[in-house]
Structure 1
Amino acid sequence: MKKQRGRELGLDFQGISGNSNAITDVPGILVGQTTLTNSSSQSSLGAQSQVRTGVTAILPFGHDSEPRIAHAGMYALNGNGEMTGTHWIRDAGSFLGPICLTNTHSVGIAHHATTKWMINKYREAFAQNHLWAMPVIAETYDGVLNDINGQHIDEDHVLNALNSACAGPVAEGNTGGGTGMICYEFKGGTGTSSRSIEVGGKAYTLGVLVQANHGKRDWLTVLGEPIGPVMRDNLLFDKETGSIIVITATDAPLRPDQLRRIAKRGAIGISRSGSPGGNNSGDIFLAFSTANARRLPQLDAPLQSMTHLNDECLDTIYQATVEAVDESIINAMLAAEDTPTFKPQGQLCQAINPEELVKLLRKAGKCR
């Protein structure tokens, strides 16, 4: 039976969500996932393997065959992780192509396969011009639950995630790149949420997708309540060793410098559930807008123009970002399933108990 998300359980999250309460509520954005689960293959180190990994693909402009750039900004709260393409995002304020999330040891194959997908998808532009592909590939480490050294993700797995991307609800928890991830020592993974907002009399949507693999149980806070000190079963770590990737998307027209400020609010979003940003954690955030989409600069006109919101209007977007990041993390945990550990073997990474969580929050007046 499908698990209930935070709002379905009555958790008192603030803000108005979109139809699917997902990043795909932003018009045009599609998400596809490949999930690998196998316990019978051979490990790279010769022992029995456990495969719990995958790929999550985000397509800012769907399956359009004409290449268009998305304006973007990024921020790293703690840089113990990887997100490719970010040097150019910092300098140019934009990127071309999909975003893929996977595990640490599969960044290379994901980049290779996504580049191939871009060359084929934008075949005419690549054939007629000297173009280069620098897709955004980000990672978190799943080696506790997955034989990460086996590098089980291949080109077809990445291409399947890209080609299967669609609109509507996004599967959370043990799915895609989040399949083998751990969050606050509970099972973590893929999570998403969205907000419907109004700025200057116009309606916009903001959506977030996280790959949540961070935090110690002691830190866990839900809707302001210290949950971690109470829910103490099946602790896994002496110290925090994970990461989180936060992708924020909107159709609001924003400049790259404004999007970087929105990306920075991802740090406030993850702090709501208790994380201070651990030393071993790669806490990396990307924000992009589908408004003002343009042809590649190499193919575009010399004189450029764009519409963007006044800086004085950004507080509404900042708040929506913080709220949606926090809710995405909790949704990832609530959707997750118990998973046995691979390294070390013999332990269990438990999913958070929704009944116990609801009981604690209802007592505090934070759950309907």
Structure 2
Amino acid sequence: MQKPRARALGLPFAGTTGPLNAITDVAGVTVGFTTLTDPALNMRTGVTAIRPRADKGVPVPIWAGHYALNGNGEMTGTHWIDDAGYMIGPVCITNTHGVGAVHHGVTQWMIEHYAEFFAQDHGWAMPVVAETYDGVLNDINALRVTPDHAVAALWAAKGGAVHEGSVGGGNGMIAYQFKAGTGTASRVVEIGGQGYTMGCLVQANHGRRSDFQVLGRMVGQLIPEGVFDRGLPQKEMGSIIVVLITDAPLSGLSLRQVAKRAALGIGRGGTPGGNSSGDIFLALSVANPGPMPQRAGTVLSKMEVNGEAIDPLYMAAVQAVEEAVVNAIVAGEDVATFKPKGHIVPGIDTTRLAALF
């Protein structure tokens, strides 16, 4: 059963959320999971799949921008995003050693799902697959994630409420030395009389307990018990992947600026973005649907929010990322470690957290 989310505990986050306070508040966005848990096999991992569009047959470009605060991690497909300002297909998140298998699975899914495009055009698949390291709670070297797990997560994608914590790629993840994983949130804003939604999903696997803040309170120092750090370097280890999706019409350049704001969102939680952390962010816009560029005319026409009016979307991104990280943490429950064995990574005591507010 899903534990109460951060707002249900009385934490007074700023901003107005969408109906679900989830990335799926953006119309057409769906999320699916494959969650792999077997203590007998030291297995706690999985795949998270995000489908920004419900396209089929021929892909519809998704306008995109990317930013890496610290690059000790992986997100495939970003070189093309940086050059072209768009991507096609889904986004998947898994563990560090699962990137190749998930990339293979997503490519297979895209070839089947966009069959007309790949049959009639010189179609290519360049999936976006990102990762964080789950080797403390999962035998990551056993390579349990397979292409079929990615395909299953994609077919499982649906709208509505999004599960959080130990699901999908977030199954084996730790944030601020609490059990964490998958978290989501959303914000709605108005620009020029038009309402827009900013949705966020994170895979949180970053931070040191002593740095952890929630809404300006030093929660990590007020709840210091149960810190698991035995056998680990005394520095920030892990990573965070942030995916932001909006229905606001934005260019690739503006979306790169939105992606940068994810750094401010995670910074509100206290992390400095440590050298051993991969903090990699993707921002997408589902506005301006249209044909693949090779099937479009010579001159393209698109709507775009004026950069002089974009600040509410920046704030929406910062607020949604901040809350999504806390949602990932409050969903966590105590989990036994794999490497080294014999310890527990605790879920946060939500009663004590609520009492602080």
TM bucket normalised to smaller: over 0.9
Alignment gaps of 5+ in structure 1? 42-49, 363-368
Equivalent residue for 2:106?
114
Residues in 2 aligned to 1:331 and 1:129: alpha-carbon distance in whole angstroms: 43
Count of paired positions: 353
Q: Spell out structure 1 runs of 4+ moving beyond 4 A.
A: none
TM-score (normalised: structure 2):
0.97
Please show how residues 58-73 of structure 1 align to structure 2 within 5 Å: 58-62=50-54, 64-73=56-65
1:118-171 CA-to-partner distances (Å, cap 9, x unmatched) read: 000000110011111001000000000000000101122111100010000000
Question: For the Cα contact (< 8 Å) 2:2–2:163, is it kept in 1?
Answer: no
Equivalent residue for 2:4?
4
- Which residue identity lines up with residue 330 of structure 1 in the other structure? V
SS of 1:254's equivalent? coil
Alignment of 1:21 onto 2:21 = yes
- Which residue identity lines up with residue 190 of structure 1 in the other structure? T
Aligned with 2:317 (options 299, 318, 321) = 321
CA RMSD, 1 decimal = 0.9
Question: For the Cα contact (< 8 Å) 2:189–2:312, is it kept in 1?
Answer: yes
Equivalent residue for 2:261?
265
Shift of residue 294, structure 1, vs aligned partner: 2.4
Shift of residue 336, structure 1, vs aligned partner: 1.4
Please show how residues 281-296 of structure 1 align to structure 2 within 5 Å: 281-296=277-292
- Which residue identity lines up with residue 86 of structure 2 in the other structure? S
56-65 vs 168-177, greater mean Cα deviation:
56-65
Please show how residues 1-368 of structure 1 align to structure 2 within 5 Å: 1-41=1-41, 50-62=42-54, 64-237=56-229, 238-360=234-356, 362=357
Residues in 2 aligned to 1:282 and 1:292: alpha-carbon distance in whole angstroms: 31
1:253-294 CA-to-partner distances (Å, cap 9, x unmatched) read: 001111000000000000000011000000000001000122
TM-score (normalised: structure 1):
0.95
Question: For the Cα contact (< 8 Å) 1:35–1:53, is it kept in 2?
Answer: yes
Residues in 2 aligned to 1:276 and 1:110: alpha-carbon distance in whole angstroms: 29
Residues in 1 aligned to 2:329 and 2:146: alpha-carbon distance in whole angstroms: 27
Question: For the Cα contact (< 8 Å) 1:70–1:294, is it kept in 2?
Answer: no
Shift of residue 239, structure 1, vs aligned partner: 1.6
Question: For the Cα contact (< 8 Å) 1:208–1:247, is it kept in 2?
Answer: yes
SS of 2:144's equivalent? coil
Question: For the Cα contact (< 8 Å) 1:178–1:212, is it kept in 2?
Answer: yes
- Which residue identity lines up with residue 63 of structure 2 in the other structure? H
Equivalent residue for 1:46?
none
SS of 2:237's equivalent? coil
